[in-house]
Amino acid sequence: MSTEQILVLVAAAAAVWAAFFATHADWATRRAMKRWDTASKPVPNIVFTGQVASGQAIDLEVENLGGTLTGGGVIVHAGDELYAGELTLPQNAPARHISLPFIVKAWKRALEPECLVLVARDVSGRCWDYVDGGKPIKNPRRWLSGQLRELRMQGMVDFPSVAGREKR
């Protein structure tokens, strides 16, 4: 074997070695990012308490089983009325009593209270849709506008902690 062939073999071995360790570093980075996402993602849990009185606020118990919920919004359909409000909860917060004000009469009657919109923003600024199983929301302003349009609630409710303030 000539020295050129030996140098080519050594370079090839070094390239394989570098690729192997670069792949390991990439996997480790991805695992760390997934652990961070899991640790920082808020997990709100809502429990309906008490009876719903027509035209009055509805009482909820909200707890956060995950990371810090820096901003969130909830729209609830109970009876034949819609209620809405904003949320902010620290990491792993115990159940907290909140009252959502009455917003508007609903288009149909619901036998059981249900969340129509439950959206949360985490510490890194990402938003999550918890009515749809905790899916990430790429464009919170557009998503929220679509949800409010679908519910015919544009102009009645605004969640600036989720979508940001409107530019005027």
Owner of token pair 């990430």:
136
- Whole-angstrom CA distances from 62 to 23, 78, 80, 98 are 42, 16, 22, 7
Residue 119 pLDDT: 92
Nearest to 96 by CA among 83, 107, 87, 105: 87
Quick check: 121 and 72 in contact, CB under 8 A? yes
The pLDDT tens digits of the residues spanning 59-114 come to 899 888 888 888 889 999 988 899 999 988 888 888 889 999 999 888 888 888 88
Q: Nearest 5°: phi and psi at 41?
A: -75, 125
Write the single-letter amino acid at 118: L
Q: What single DSSP character describes residue 7?
A: H
The answer on pLDDT for 131 being more than 60 is: yes
Structure confidence at residue 166 as a pLDDT band (50, 70, 90): low
Across the range 137-163, mean pLDDT stands at 88
| pTM summary value | 0.75
Please, what is the average pLDDT of the chain? 85
